């Protein structure tokens, strides 16, 4: 066999080495991936999942619907959400699934959504801040004057969590789950004078920064509500095959697609840690932590800086114009 390989041309040898590396990575990822093994049901519980019309959000919604939860799909694209709802109801046998319009890139939409929830829902047991976007090559601003990725990934969820925190506390024990990413580890230290890329835009860092902010806000909120029965955790879903880079330039999309198909988790596998935090006993007694593969994992050292977390929280309050009456901590 070795003789045969040696007789091959070097391009073929190189290709075989690459394929073997991919195979080894795939086997390794399968062996270490976490699976939610909790049998707990959610009958009588209400869950909100942002970005639940596709990807890991949809798989999370399906699993929780199967467990008997009332599931609210908080989505920007109502048409796609309608298709997702039909699938979830059909596969779960649970008709208690609703669609609520939510555009995280619009603070007025977030406020309208939250008002609707407070008017229609008597309880909220789990809030899963799952929606996200990435891959914007150029700086884009929302109608609120905030950088698009920062608002869709972080500021919108920050405001939403604060607006619903009173209901979460009223419904305690309850849970806030922020879907972050291992990308937070690669983020540069925050420049509080450039949170919205006012001075400069770094397309390679903006997504990482938004995910770092999710971890930092998790760390800051958890102790503020620690005696209220609300737990707050964040997670890395793993390297998951999603449409998150659909706005990326073609040169990035093509190699990413090939790599994703070979190595990444599928949607169901990527949803496991979100599901674990939503239903497991550990999710009700652990707070302020970063999870990966259904277990507590190590976050970046910078993400544990309480001073940075506090300054980010205060800056975020100003940027989303959070009023005193909206602060439930």
Decide: residue 98, CB within 10 A, 0-12 exposed, 13-18 middle, 19+ buried. Answer: middle
Tokens 């319009």, residue located: 101
Rg (C-alpha) for the chain, rounded Å, is 20
**Closest Cα partner for 190 from 87, 298, 16, 312?**
312
Strand-strand pairing, 290-292 and 295-296? antiparallel
**Closest Cα partner for 107 from 73, 157, 72?**
157
Q: Is 207 a catalytic residue?
A: yes
Contacts of 16 (CB under 8 A, 6+ apart): 5, 8
- The Cβ-side half-sphere exposure at 145, using a 13 Å CA radius, reads 5
**Closest Cα partner for 72 from 54, 90, 85, 91?**
85
Of 28, 207, 290, 329, which one is the catalytic site residue? 207
- The Cβ-side half-sphere exposure at 44, using a 13 Å CA radius, reads 2
- Report the DSSP beta bridge partners of residue 265: 240
Catalytic residues: 207
């Amino acid at each position: 066999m070795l003789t045969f390989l040696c007789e091959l041309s070097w391009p073929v040898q190189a290709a075989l080495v690459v394929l073997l590396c991919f195979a080894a990575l795939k086997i390794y990822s399968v062996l270490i991936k976490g699976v939610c093994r909790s049998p707990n049901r959610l009958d009588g519980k209400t869950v909100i999942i942002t970005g639940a019309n596709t990807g890991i959000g949809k798989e999370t919604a399906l699993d929780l619907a199967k467990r008997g939860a009332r599931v609210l799909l908080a989505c920007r694209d109502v048409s796609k959400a309608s298709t997702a709802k039909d699938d979830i109801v059909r596969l779960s046998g649970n008709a208690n699934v609703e669609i609520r319009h939510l555009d995280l890139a619009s603070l007025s939409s977030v406020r309208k959504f939250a008002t609707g929830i407070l008017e229609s829902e008597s309880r909220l047991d789990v809030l899963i801040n799952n929606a996200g976007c990435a891959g914007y090559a150029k700086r884009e601003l929302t109608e609120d004057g905030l950088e698009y990725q920062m608002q869709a990934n972080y500021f919108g969820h920050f405001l939403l969590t604060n607006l619903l925190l009173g209901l979460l506390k009223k419904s305690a024990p309850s849970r806030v789950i922020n879907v972050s990413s291992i990308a937070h580890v690669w983020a540069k230290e925050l420049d509080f004078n450039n949170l919205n890329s006012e001075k400069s835009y770094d397309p390679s860092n903006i997504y990482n920064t938004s995910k770092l902010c999710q971890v930092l806000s998790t760390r800051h909120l958890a102790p503020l509500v620690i005696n209220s029965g609300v737990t707050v955790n964040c997670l890395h879903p793993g390297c998951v095959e999603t449409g998150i880079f659909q706005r990326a330039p073609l040169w990035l999309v093509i190699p990413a697609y090939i790599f994703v198909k070979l190595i990444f988790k599928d949607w169901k596998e990527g949803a496991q840690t979100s599901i674990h935090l939503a239903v497991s006993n550990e999710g009700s007694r652990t707070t302020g932590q970063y999870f990966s593969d259904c277990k507590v994992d190590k976050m970046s050292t910078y993400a544990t800086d309480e001073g940075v977390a506090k300054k980010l929280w205060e800056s975020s309050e100003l940027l989303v114009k959070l009023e005193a009456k909206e602060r439930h901590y």
